[in-house]
Amino acid sequence: MASDSIAINPAAVATRSIGERLHDWVVTVDHKKLGILYIVYALCFLVIGGIEATVMRIQLMVPNNHFVSPEVFNRLFTMHGTTMIFFVAMPILFGFGTYLIPLMIGTRDMAFPRLNALSFWLTAFGGLLLYFSLIGGNGLYGAGNAPDVGWFAYAPLTSRPFSLGHSTDFWTLGLLVSGIGSIGAAVNFITTILCMRCPGMTLGKMPLLAWMNLVMAGMVILAVSPLTAAQIMLSVDRYLGGHFFDTQAGGSAVLWMHFFWIFGHPEVYVLIIPAFAFVSEIIPVFSRKPIFGYPVMVAATVCIGFVSLSVWAHHMFTVGMSSYANSFFTITTMAVGVPTGIKIFNWIGTMWGGKIQFKAPMMFCIGFLFQFLIAGLTGIMLAASPFDWQLGNSYFVVAHFHYVIVGGILFALFGAFYYWFPKMSGRMYNETLAKWHFWLFLIGFHLTFDFMHVPGLLGMPRRIYTYEPGRGWEIWNLIVTVGVLFQIAGVLVFVGNLLWSLAKGEVAGNDPWDAWTLEWSTNSPPPEYNFARIPVVQSRRPLWDVKHPEDPDWKYE
């Protein structure tokens, strides 16, 4: 591709003041800036959520500890879960999507740039509203500040008699507001992907990242809405004297569980599918081969999207549903493992016969493969409902989902950071520091989350602020806490690397990885208009066709 930016006379660009630049960021509707805003916002909350986790781990390090009171501990696990899901994982994945999708499909911006900005600011405001509870949650009774009802806020614990003050309302409203932001972002993703692809890019030729974000956005539309509905119902109960979940008036606590998990389960697929997208873009480039089985990867993702809407009550195996209901949700949950497994095989198939380069993005993706495999298998164990009657609500489940979220999603995210950092900033990160980050974090992750499975097997329930000595849980809890130190070290190296590289990294150029999708055809960082001319594509790897005109992809696809 010929020069893809229009030369600007540097002398003509006046130096702008800090105020003007900040103002620019606040009013921007440019998808790249909004993407970065989402990502930076999420990273700030990652640190906060990490501190919450660290405090909990110190409390649980030894039995009968008094590092924090039970009230504080209960608020910590509620805020940690809520923060990490809604104000770290969702924003950061929306952020990467917002940044990358227009670039990868060859267009200038998202379909609705102002909606894009609105969605970000709503999400951001929701997070601030949640944390405002630390100040404003006291209400009339002075009882509690941050919410302490758990991130899934089961009824009737959330009803007025059991949740005094306003802390639960900050949880409800904060998530309601950010949920509307998420739905807005999802509408934008779907419309952009369906309506703004560059000429020649049929649905069968768009990058897997675009496909996966399309499925993810569809799931957000169908899954976040039930949560919004349930939160409206909870607010009607708490403020208007309604009885949706009021067991004293004949209401049903289980109904909240159904509504929440109809959201909650697809939500975790909303989180993992963009992680799949990153891995599907990075592994081919560093194996020097196209993704193995593109059509099957698309079909498997769509399949996961649909089937995951039918598995939600596997979070409710212990509530006393009939054996038929339990069997139904067992088979659907096991079934969703099939397309997921197929994707793992396809990633292995991509590496097979390739020439693998062990740069930081690839190392994190390989870590993802190992860890997601294990996480999926512990998921299959939990799918067997009788086994879940023992393992559910114990530290085994906590270990399982952290394995998916930290071992899977966060590792894929670190890979994505390193892979696209050169494009976003124009500079290369430091590879040595990145490798230090990888190994430190890997050791910490495994120390914490491998050994966390054991207390669950030995009968330790979740959400307990302390435990008796002599139950056989002490040594495992201690090891789990030690792992946190390594993870903190890894994250510090990561942040240091990013900051240092922003200032002093080597200039990256358009295409430091010799990659094949459209974002690598334009400058690093891309100009505001993305491409000087809208590209025209003929295959799934347009830059491969340009670099290998004798052997282009479109001959074989």
Q: Mark the segment that binds another protein (CB under 8 A) among 19-27, 169-177, 409-417, 446-454.
A: 446-454
Can residue 556 be called a binding residue for another protein (CB under 8 A)? yes
Q: Is 259 in the site for another protein (CB under 8 A)?
A: yes
Least distance to another protein, CB of residue 196, Å: 7
Q: How far apart are the first and last CA of the chain?
A: 21
Six-digit token pair at 264?
Answer: 């909650």
Query: Closest CB to another protein among 424 and 530?
Result: 530
Select from 45, 467, 513, 520 the one that contacts another protein (CB under 8 A): 467
**Touching another protein, residues 368-397 (CB under 8 A):** 369-370, 373-374, 377-378, 380-381, 384-394
Binding to another protein in span 338-357, by CB under 8 A: 338, 341-342, 344-346, 348-349, 351-357
With CB under 8 A, what is the number of residues at the site for another protein?
Answer: 142
Enumerate residues 8-47 that contact another protein by CB under 8 A.
none
The least distance separating another protein from the CB of residue 127, rounded to whole angstroms, comes to 21
CB of 438 to another protein, least distance (A): 10
Q: Is the peptide bond before 156 cis (omega within 30 degrees of 0)?
A: yes
Structure tokens at 205: 């030729």
Q: Which is nearer to another protein, 102 or 156 (CB)?
A: 156
**Of the two residues 71 and 511, which places its CB atom closer to another protein in the complex?**
71
Choice between 28 and 333, CB closer to another protein: 333
Dihedral of alpha carbons 118, 168, 230, 331, sign? positive
Residue labelled with tokens 């009657």: 389
Least spacing, CB of residue 326 vs another protein, in Å: 5
**Considering the rule CB under 8 A, would residue 529 count as an interface residue with another protein?**
no
Single residue of 229, 492, 499, 507 touching another protein by CB under 8 A: 229
Assess 463 for contact with another protein (CB under 8 A). Answer: yes
Contact window for another protein (CB under 8 A) among 6-14, 131-139, 268-276, 443-451: 443-451
**Any idea what DSSP says for residue 409?**
I
Query: Among all chains, which residue has been given the structure tokens 């088979």?
Result: 331
Per DSSP, 526 falls in state P
Which residues on adjacent β-strands are paired with residue 427? 507
Q: How many Å apart are CA 200 and CA 150, to the nearest integer? A: 48
From the CB of 254, what's the least distance to another protein, in Å?
Answer: 6
Structure tokens at 217: 């956005």
Considering beta carbons, is residue 288 or 500 the nearer one to another protein?
Answer: 288
DSSP state of 290: P
Q: Binding of another protein at residue 162 (CB under 8 A)?
A: yes
User: Taking CB under 8 A as the rule, does residue 242 contact another protein?
Assistant: yes
Does position 495 interact with another protein (CB under 8 A)? The reply is: no
Give me 40's structure tokens.
């930076």
Tokens of 92: 């950061």
Among 8, 323, 503, 550, binds another protein (CB under 8 A): 323
Q: Shortest distance, CB of residue 108 to another protein, whole angstroms?
A: 11
CB 78 within 8 A of CB 33: no
Find the binding residues for another protein in span 266-305 (CB under 8 A). 287-290, 292-296
User: For another protein, which residue of 9, 470, 503, 549 counts as binding (CB under 8 A)?
Assistant: 470
Cα(15)–Cα(20) distance, integer angstroms: 10
Q: Is the dihedral of CA 46, 52, 58, 64 positive or negative?
A: negative
- Determine which residue in the list 48, 61, 458, 478 makes contact with another protein, applying CB under 8 A: 458
* Interaction pattern, residues 49-88, with another protein; x per rule: CB under 8 A: --------------------xxx--x--------------
- In sequence order, the β-bridge partners of residue 413 are none
Count Cβ atoms within 10 A of the Cβ of residue 320 and give its class: 0-12 exposed, 13-18 middle, 19 or more buried: exposed
Per CB under 8 A, 326 contacts another protein? yes
Work out the angle between the directed axes of helices 31-60 and 18-27 (0-180°, nearest 10): 90
Nearer to another protein (CB atom), residue 504 or residue 555: 555
Distance between CA 253 and CA 251 in Å, rounded?
7
Q: Which residues does 182 contact at the CB level (< 8 Å), separation at least 6?
A: 90, 94, 119, 123, 220, 224
Residue 137 found at the interface with another protein (CB under 8 A): no
DSSP 332: H
Question: Rounded to the nearest whole angstrom, what is the least distance from the CB of residue 503 to another protein in the complex?
Answer: 26
Say how far apart CA 87 and CA 120 lie, in whole Å.
11
Neighbours of 154 (CB within 10 A): 14
| Residue from 219, 227, 334 nearest 273 by CA | 219
Rule CB under 8 A: say whether 482 interacts with another protein.
Answer: no
